């Protein structure tokens, strides 16, 4: 990760000498490089801006953090304009894409996808089994039918806290969990506040807000298809404190 500060006239996220000449060429680093959250970049002699992403790509800073909607360029970056004007090449974009793919191919997640596990995977498997045993002992009963609402007071949203519900499907079908939340006052605007949802041992989704999102916002995640009478554990895990819930409902 590159830092927020400038060095020798360039913000580090767009500093070619730092990221390519030293890190990659002299030190032999072959992985991906990402910016710090909403870091600035600049061209020689120019002012720093979060919109100067083309300069970051030229420096081999491969990932810009964070963009709400990359498909529609919600950050208003200059990539398209730089390509059109010839200030950035398609090859430079492909180089960053290759850095990202090379990194992904070396991750434990990819190795697991091709059947290569490690001692760490065995440890994680044992931890997952322990989580399921705790859910079986402490899971709160919940009868599931269209429109079922979960009591917010029953969900522990503290730091690294898990709440499990022992769900019985009174009505089979395809359900979607709807969650409404916001950041509590007092959080840093840059804080990342996630909640992860699991059905049994299957991870469904992580929903993350920032400390600046103090207005109510809505998330949804689909559950596996259920038959009447099916039972499973629905679990919520809060990786950070600071999220306030107003409603959690399950609808067909």
Catalytic residue among 36, 69, 151, 218: 36
Distance CA 52, CA 57 (A): 9
* 36 catalytically annotated: yes
Task: Give pTM, 2 decimals.
Answer: 0.65
Quick one: fold of 139-251?
Answer: Jelly Rolls (2.60.120)
Enumerate the domain spans of the chain: 6-106, 139-251
pLDDT greater than 80 at residue 252: yes
Beta-ladder partners of 226 = 173
Per-residue pLDDT reduced to its tens digit, 164-217: 999 999 999 999 999 999 999 999 998 999 999 999 888 999 999 999 999 999
Per-residue pLDDT reduced to its tens digit, 115-127: 888 888 888 788 7
């Amino acid at each position: 990760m590159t830092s927020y500060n400038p060095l020798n006239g360039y913000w580090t996220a767009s500093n070619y000498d730092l990221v390519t000449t030293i890190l990659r060429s002299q030190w032999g680093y072959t992985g991906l490089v990402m910016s710090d959250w909403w870091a600035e970049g600049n061209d020689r002699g120019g002012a720093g801006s979060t919109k100067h992403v083309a300069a970051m790509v030229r420096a081999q800073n491969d990932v810009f953090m964070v963009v709400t909607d990359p498909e529609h360029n919600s950050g208003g970056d200059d990539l398209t304009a730089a390509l059109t004007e010839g200030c950035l090449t398609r090859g430079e974009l492909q180089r960053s894409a290759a850095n990202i793919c090379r990194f992904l191919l070396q991750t434990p997640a990819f190795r697991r996808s091709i059947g290569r596990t490690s001692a760490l995977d065995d440890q994680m498997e044992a931890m997952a089994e322990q989580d399921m045993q705790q859910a079986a002992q402490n899971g709160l009963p919940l009868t599931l039918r269209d429109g079922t609402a979960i009591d917010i007071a029953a969900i522990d949203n503290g730091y690294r806290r898990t709440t499990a519900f022992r769900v019985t499907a009174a009505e089979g079908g395809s359900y979607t969990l709807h969650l409404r939340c916001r950041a509590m006052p007092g959080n840093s605007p840059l804080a990342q506040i996630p909640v992860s949802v699991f059905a049994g041992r299957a991870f469904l989704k992580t929903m993350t807000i920032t400390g600046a999102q103090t207005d109510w916002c809505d998330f949804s995640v689909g559950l596996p298809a259920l038959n009447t009478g099916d039972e499973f554990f629905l679990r919520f895990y809060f990786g950070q404190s600071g999220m306030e819930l107003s409603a959690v409902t399950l609808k067909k």
